[in-house]
Amino acid sequence: MASIAEIESVEEILNGHLPEAEREAVRKILYGKETKPLTIPQAAISLAEKEDFEIKGYAFAAAQEQLRSPRIVRVGLIQNKIVVPTDRPIKEQRDALHQRISTIVKAAADAHVNIICFQEAWTMPFAFCTREKKPWCEFAEAAEDGPTTELVKDLSKQFNMVIISPILERDSLHGDTIWNTAVVVSRGRYLGKHRKNHIPRVGDFNESSYYFEGNTGHPVFQTEFGKIAINICYGRHHPLNWFMFGANGAEIVFNPSATVGELSEPLWGIEARNAAIANSYFTCAINRVGTERFPNEFTSGNGQPAHKDFGHFYGSSYVAAPDGSRTPGLSRTRDGLLIVEMDLNLCRQVRDVWGFKMTQRLDMYATSIAAAAEPNYEPNIIS
């Protein structure tokens, strides 16, 4: 029997063991309304085969309206392994990832993608588990005009894409502080950035050794393809974080992440999907893939032996719609590009059906949350 890390996907297991009729019923239960396979141009398929990455495409449907034209957007999500070992020079590691992702972006362009998002801290191994400052802090760079953003500007301009590029940011204007940041580039122009709001302190994921909670709030970026926001990694565990992006008008919220199976996989398929339902927008969950090994051992503070990796990043990137439907996930083991076509009109159509925005009680929540934030708060428990 294959180990959990070696399992390709849930879909592969279903396809291998269930008759077609039962598969359709199970998929409906697991994923809601069916997402139709998207026809992917042969140029993109050929590039994926040549460069050895998975490529999948799906389309969400919305009802035809009489007074609004469809607002069709194609979104791309990239999940990937690191390219060269973690003991290689920093520039070599970064340049190899630049080249790898540029190739996958070319496939996305061939498939007419409008907005693409990379995984969390995509230019480096997820070295924050080590708690070592050297050499990992050298990956940090300026958000506005660092080498990665300059590369992304070129790709964005060349392919007329909006690109979301999560990096380790070095803020030289404020004491060389470091942040976990997502940079947004549109038509080759730096549009803005968002810094990670919630920082984990869970086992090996003790990222406060490098950066603290972000200070950019919950910005929404108006692009020619729709209003987008970025809920970076650990923020997906906080429903109010998702909520505030919706309160600010987001239509698509991206969740670039780095998370391993032993810690979070039972939560992975639930949280972004729940957020799409609760906030009537599309959500895009991206996780890196592979096992990253480091030169020096580190411990988890749990009495277990020291180790040089902290588990398998299980990929499984997917997109969820406001009606609760979702795509199948990408592979748990391979680099991949997920292409999803969506009609943003579905956001308002779902709001009209369910009325979540009308029936929420923001005034009551605001009063209760303000009270709960006070040090002398007493829970409202009746006995």
Catalytic positions, written as ranges: 120, 196, 233
DSSP string, 92-159: HHHHHHHHHHHHHHHHHHHTT-SEEEPPTTTTS--GGGG---TTGGGG-B-TTTSHHHHHHHHHHHHH
Using alpha carbons only, what angle is made at residue 53 by residues 169 and 332, rounded to the nearest 5 degrees?
80
DSSP 322: T
- Tell me if 340 sits within 8 A of 319, measured CB to CB: yes
Tokens at 123, concatenated: 């230019």
87 vs 96, 168, 290, CA distance in Å? 14, 19, 16
Among candidates 214, 280, 285, 273, which has minimal Cα distance to 245?
280
Q: How many angstroms separate the CA atoms of 219 and 229, rounded?
A: 7
